[in-house]
Amino acid sequence: MAKILGAKCRICRREGEKLFLKGERCNSAKCPIIRRNYPPGMHGMKSATRRLTGYGTQLREKQKAKRLYGLMETQFRNYFEKAKKEKGDTSENMVRHLEMRLDNVIYRLGFARSRSMARQMVSHGLFTVNDKKVNIPSYSVKPNDIIKINGTKSEKKIFESLKDKLKKQETPSWLMIDAAKLEGKVLSAPQGDELKQIFDPKLIVEFYSR
């Protein structure tokens, strides 16, 4: 899995999009991309006005998606290869696999403020899927899977005031959260408009299909 060692906000500025790598800070006025909406570095303002080639546009979309989900190149490429072998639209299949990763579902349900935080929580064994502990962030959930906090770990400080936060959480239509029980359910695999992202998956397919 990818581990971001530098400043996360530089990544958002480089891609020109909020990737929500720092949770609540990304929704505040402190978000650097609001104040400096151009790439980082001494030539950042100049590079923001440069026109990208077709290849450059495809590359940027791939990098944006990789960084959004926190994946390394090999792992991300594997999702494309898997999607290509399946029936249907390759771009939709790829996004569906990314969205149904356990760490992403934990984030979407509101248990974590960011995907990187969700990845760490899963790795530490804080969640169960159908009452079985799963500590693999890339684990692929399935329709009707029930995701809960693992046993007494709900008493950990990281889960303080979680019930109140979950009551305000807006989840995708393919997921359901029960704030009272502190559990989520996968209703179905995401389809159609549920797969829309801040990146263009068709350009990523074109990039890998060159």
Q: How far apart are CA 188 and CA 193, in angstroms?
A: 14
Task: Specify if 55 maps to a domain.
Answer: yes
Q: What is the pTM of this model?
A: 0.80
Domain span including residue 60: 8-98
- What is the total count of domains within the chain? 2
| pLDDT score at 7 | 59
Task: Specify if 197 maps to a domain.
Answer: no
| pLDDT score at 115 | 92
Same domain, 38 and 109: no
Same domain, 12 and 91: yes
Same domain, 125 and 182: yes
**Strands 127-129 vs 132-133: parallel, antiparallel or unpaired:** antiparallel
Same domain, 160 and 92: no
| pLDDT score at 160 | 87
| pLDDT score at 3 | 52
| pLDDT score at 210 | 86
Q: How far apart are CA 96 and CA 189, in angstroms?
A: 7
Q: How far apart are CA 125 and CA 136, in angstroms?
A: 8
Task: Specify if 34 maps to a domain.
Answer: yes
Task: Specify if 142 maps to a domain.
Answer: yes
Same domain, 132 and 90: no
Only one residue has tokens 């995701």, namely: 147
Per-residue pLDDT 10s for the chain (210 aa) are 455 545 555 555 555 666 666 556 555 556 656 666 656 655 555 555 567 798 989 999 999 999 899 999 999 999 999 999 999 999 999 999 999 999 999 999 999 999 999 999 999 999 999 999 999 999 999 999 999 999 888 888 889 889 898 988 889 999 999 999 999 999 999 999 999 998 999 999 999 998
Of 70, 16, 66, 60, nearest to 39 by C-alpha is: 16
Same domain, 113 and 93: no
